[in-house]
Structure 1
Amino acid sequence: MASFTFVQDYLRHRLTANNRHGIHSPFVYQLIDTVIYNYHNQKAYHEIAIELSGQNIATERKLPVKVLKLIYRLTKHFNPSSIVEVGEGGRTSHYLQKAVPLAKIDNVNDAELKGGLTTCADMVIFNNDVLNLQVFETLLTAVYPDTIMIFTGVHNNTDAKRVWDQVKAHPRVTLTIDLFWIGLVFFKLGRAEKEHFKIKY
């Protein structure tokens, strides 16, 4: 059962976040309009539900299905050829594989991250059990301007919220989108100043 504080945070987010209206960034507006708020049913959702039925993924802190579908859409939209997934993904891993079946997906843990990564990644996804600043800074070795990072569980607890604020403030981060359930991080060059958006989802 969700904690009282978590519910409060969710309601506060709903009250203070925007939808597509009032967003002046063309990139963010288009992403909201065509991907985040694309609630149309997709054949892949049904296929994934069948493939996962009966599976017991005990290590996973479950994300709502609507969030897993959003991760699927984001992954399909950005079409990464290389993904680094940090921590135990469970169902999240399945949605990633379904979205980009030809992509190279590496699942890594803290021990494997020591010293950083030697290759670049188009997408990095942090599962909520490994959300800490040290892991984020280590993964920056794999980041280039077009990399997208997805953080799950950014509002799960006080520590997660603190790390999310530190990630947003990092000098290499140029744009973030807080969807409460997940946070999106971009590193695109050429932006005059940082932009942070809170979007209802």
Structure 2
Amino acid sequence: MLFQIKSFLNFLMKSQNQHGLHSPFVYNLVTKCFYDKGFYKEYDLIRNYRNDLLRNKEFIEVTDFGAGSRVFNSNKRPVFSIAKNAGITLHRAKLLYRITNYLKIENALELGTSLGVASSAIAANKRTKLTSIEGCPETAGIASEQFQKYALKNIDLRIGKFEDQFEEILQKNENFDLIYFDGNHQKDATLKYFKKLLPGIHNDSVFIFDDIHWSKDMQKAWAEIKKHPSVKVTIDTFQWGIVFFRKEQVKQDFIIRV
């Protein structure tokens, strides 16, 4: 916890808003998407989906293949508590929807479905086809029920270890417009998934890495990703690390408050 507080204070010292952004692409992204205060009807779906989970008192047995939890001492956890403590916030879910909408995402991949709140934010835009992978059968079961309840028929939910699914997914899908990494907050795993999925991108693809300041190792992983020759533009929002591969861009790194 102390590490994250120090990281956040350091982030605040270095971060900026739209002022002083000399990249037209990033300036437009920040002003027209990140800071968009308009209302979208899809927000109601995302809010209702999340509130449903916050009312769910059912206990499930969580299988965790990642870095583990800083909140839970047991793998037997109530759904509402997972949604509250481990799930994406409503603020960030709305932002994820806006990014999907603004960048006109048609083909997306999510690593780490959990209860599906982030999935609902991506798939709320019905033109987006989302493939989502979850390692834990019981959390995937709750997500599957929610997808059916909210008619999110554009989600292909797969259960299993991420790397076991990659080959088939990459063969089936030529390119992904968006890949959302939220399933294993460890350095080696993050870098392995990043490199493994690079063949599945195109010039306008975007990667979003969750919890880049989760630990020193995750910060090191983020630093390596930023240096990769394929990476042109990165945006650190503290919670997320956002990566673009646009060859026409000058290589730049931004730290933006959202």
Gaps of 5+ in 1: none
Report what 1:148 is aligned to: 206
1:95-106 matches, within 5 Å, as 95-98=121-124, 100-106=125-131
**Stretch deviating more after TM superposition (126-135 or 13-22):** 126-135
- The count of corresponding residues between Structure 1 and Structure 2 is 197
Deviations 1:36-64 (A, max 9, x none): 11233433223322233232374882233
**Stretch deviating more after TM superposition (43-52 or 9-18):** 43-52
Q: Do 1:85 and 1:127's aligned partners in 2 also have CA atoms closer than 8 Å?
A: yes
Cα separation, 1, equivalents of 2:107 and 2:36: 24
Greater than 4 Å deviation, 4+ residue runs: none
TM-score relative to the length of structure 1: 0.89
TM-score relative to the length of structure 2: 0.70
Deviations 1:37-95 (A, max 9, x none): 12334332233222332323748822332112111110111121110111234310011
Report what 2:175 is aligned to: 120
Cα separation, 2, equivalents of 1:110 and 1:61: 23
Report what 1:88 is aligned to: 113
Q: Do 1:20 and 1:32's aligned partners in 2 also have CA atoms closer than 8 Å?
A: yes
Report what 2:243 is aligned to: 185
**Stretch deviating more after TM superposition (39-48 or 152-161):** 39-48
Cα separation, 2, equivalents of 1:179 and 1:126: 15
Report what 2:192 is aligned to: 134
Gaps of 5+ in 2: 54-78, 134-161
* Deviation at residue 200 of structure 1 after TM alignment: 1.2
* Deviation at residue 116 of structure 1 after TM alignment: 7.6
Deviations 1:89-124 (A, max 9, x none): 4310011111x2132211232221258823211111
Q: Computing the radius of gyration over CA atoms, which structure comes out larger, 1 or 2?
A: 2
Change (3 A) 1:39 1:177: same
Determine what percentage of the aligned residue pairs are the same residue. Answer: 27
Amino acid at match of 2:4: F
Secondary structure at the aligned position of 2:257 is classed as: coil
Amino acid at match of 1:26: P
Q: Could you tell me which of 161, 165, 171 is aligned with 2:223?
A: 165
